[in-house]
């Protein structure tokens, strides 16, 4: 079995940060925001790990002042394949 990669879309990031999806799209256009892992028909998706690192790095800056939530929710992961389990899905590196 391959390694599991957790992905987040704009809605999941918005839930994580306590911001609107539109605000996340604005943040995603900034130079300091992580590059998307992939662009799908539904929009861009990012590696959860990259987003969490960005949140930690940004806490002392602008994003912290805009209401970054303190604790990530386990359900804030994007659906990325047909099998859906409790709001989460996994991508195996063998599938990439």
CATH label of the domain that carries residue 28: 1.10.1660
**CA proximity to 79, closest of 89, 71, 65, 66:** 89
pTM for this predicted structure: 0.63
Alpha-carbon distance of 47 to 42, in angstroms, equals: 16
Domain count, the chain: 1
Domain of residue 83 covers 4-95
Mean pLDDT score, 65-81: 43
pLDDT digits (tens, 9 = 90+) for 14-49: 999 999 999 999 999 999 999 999 999 999 999 999
- Confidence tier at 3 by pLDDT (50, 70, 90): confident
For residue 56, which phi and psi values (nearest 5 degrees)? -60, -45
């Amino acid at each position: 079995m391959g390694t599991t990669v957790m992905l987040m879309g704009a809605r999941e990031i918005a839930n994580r940060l306590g911001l609107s999806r539109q605000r996340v799209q604005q943040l995603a256009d900034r130079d300091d925001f992580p590059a998307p892992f992939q662009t799908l028909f539904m929009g861009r998706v990012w590696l959860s790990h990259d987003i969490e690192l960005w949140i930690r790095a940004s806490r002392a800056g602008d994003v912290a002042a805009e209401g970054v939530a303190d604790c990530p929710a386990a359900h804030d992961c994007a659906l990325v394949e047909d099998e859906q389990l409790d709001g989460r899905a996994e991508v195996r590196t063998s599938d990439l």
